[in-house]
Amino acid sequence: MTPSPENMGPIKTTMEKTFSHHRNWISTQSPTVADIVQQYPCFIDIPSLLDIVFGRLFDGKAEMFIRRSSIIPKLKQISILEKGFVSSLLDQTENQNDDELCHSMLQVLTHLLPPTASGRGAAASTRCSMKSAMSYLLDFVPHGTSIPSLCNSNEGSLRTHQPQLVCIGHLNSQARQFIIVVRSDKVAIPLHDDSLTCALDKLFTFFWVFNVACPTQLASFFIFLEYIYDLTVSTSARRSCPSVGAHWQASGFGLNQLSIYRCPICKQPVPGEIRKLHWHLRVVHSLSDSQDNTIICSQSSCQRTYHNLNSYSRHLFRANIHMGTIAQAICRTTL
């Protein structure tokens, strides 16, 4: 059924009635994004269906990022003491429009919540740069770029196969348009939203509705968004990997401060606070605070190397601060 003003209501009603059927298919069969839009092309024609399905998945949580848009100025406020690149970004925000300000604050977030490594093991030692991390979330192409061409791997600055937002044109242009692009599946969903905030909301719901894992490089950013949306830890697996929040919480970097850490030496879970892991390393593995030892962090996909117990413990404290306290500090005065 081709959408039109006359049948828009029936299409949405049909999607709501078939909710249980298509959610069961997506969660149990793990179809690709291309499979889903082939079965339900209305997602491309009516992007607002993402809000309806997400609202059914999480009652009352649809468009949460939009409703909590006061997070943006709050983020600007807590970043005022930052230096270097963040400071220069804040200096440019005085005369920015809403979209430009949102984009600047997204860049600030990539500094407050640094991007994670793009893999595990030896490959994980090469960390994703801040600039590249933003491209995994939002990319820009010139005015006049055709929407079908966005699915080509040579379009845009990053050849990512994960879902991302692409903005055709400049943020200060009235003619700019936001598209959700999944290059690996040759799927592009033009959004009818007027603002970057609304487009980000659609992208976040897309990952959940289509059962797709977020880019590893943006794990900490999406944990932040899960906190903004007030989502509980997911108990259902998403295609390619578990829910980002569940994955990081199981590793000890959760927003809810799950007191379980994994020993970097014996790999055993250590219940309790960071200081208990510190005690475990000292007593069980005979490490001293300042003695030279090679400790490779085993929490999530971190894989950073530390040369003594004190520096490793400080790393864990900083990680918890970045993953939880920043989000809580922003939300506490805005919810």
Q: What percent of the chain has pLDDT over 90?
A: 18
pLDDT of residue 155: 52
142 and 33 in a common domain: no
165 and 101 in a common domain: yes
Task: With cut-offs at 50, 70 and 90, classify the pLDDT of residue 275.
Answer: low
Averaged over 133-159, what is the pLDDT? 80
Strand order in the sheet with 164-168: 138-141, 164-168, 177-182, 187-190
Lowest mean pLDDT among 2-6, 42-46, 165-169, 213-217: 2-6
Please report, in angstroms and rounded to a whole number, the separation of the first and last CA atoms in the chain.
40
Averaged over 7-13, what is the pLDDT? 77
Residue that terminates a domain, selected from 153, 182, 212 = 212
Rounded CA gap, 128 and 110, in Å? 11
Residue 62: burial class (beta carbons within 10 Å; 0-12, 13-18, 19+): buried
207 and 111 in a common domain: yes
Task: Note the Cα 154 to chain centre separation in Å.
Answer: 24
108 and 35 in a common domain: no
77 and 202 in a common domain: yes
303 and 191 in a common domain: no
176 and 115 in a common domain: yes
pLDDT of residue 324: 46
- Whether 331 maps to a domain, the answer reads no
118 and 48 in a common domain: no
121 and 22 in a common domain: no
- Whether 242 maps to a domain, the answer reads no
What's the whole-number average pLDDT of the chain? 73
Rounded CA gap, 113 and 110, in Å? 5
121 and 90 in a common domain: yes
Lowest mean pLDDT among 136-140, 184-188, 209-213, 299-303: 299-303
Task: With cut-offs at 50, 70 and 90, classify the pLDDT of residue 209.
Answer: very high
DSSP string, 18-40: THHHHHHHHHHH---HHHHHHH-
Query: Residues with Cβ < 8 Å from 221, sequence gap 6 or more?
Result: 109, 110, 113, 115, 133, 137
- Whether 236 maps to a domain, the answer reads no
Residue that terminates a domain, selected from 197, 212, 227 = 212
Rounded CA gap, 118 and 254, in Å? 19
pLDDT of residue 283: 64
Residue 93: burial class (beta carbons within 10 Å; 0-12, 13-18, 19+): middle
- Whether 255 maps to a domain, the answer reads no
pTM: 0.67
198 and 72 in a common domain: yes
pLDDT digits (tens, 9 = 90+) for 115-131: 665 544 434 444 566 66
pLDDT of residue 258: 37
- Whether 221 maps to a domain, the answer reads no
Higher per-residue pLDDT: 238 or 248: 238
Rounded CA gap, 7 and 9, in Å? 5
pLDDT of residue 160: 64
Rounded CA gap, 139 and 153, in Å? 13
| Domain total of the chain | 3
Domain span including residue 96? 68-212
b/e code 156-165 from CB counts within 10 Å (16+ = b): bebebebbbb
Residue 178 has pLDDT above 60, yes or no: yes
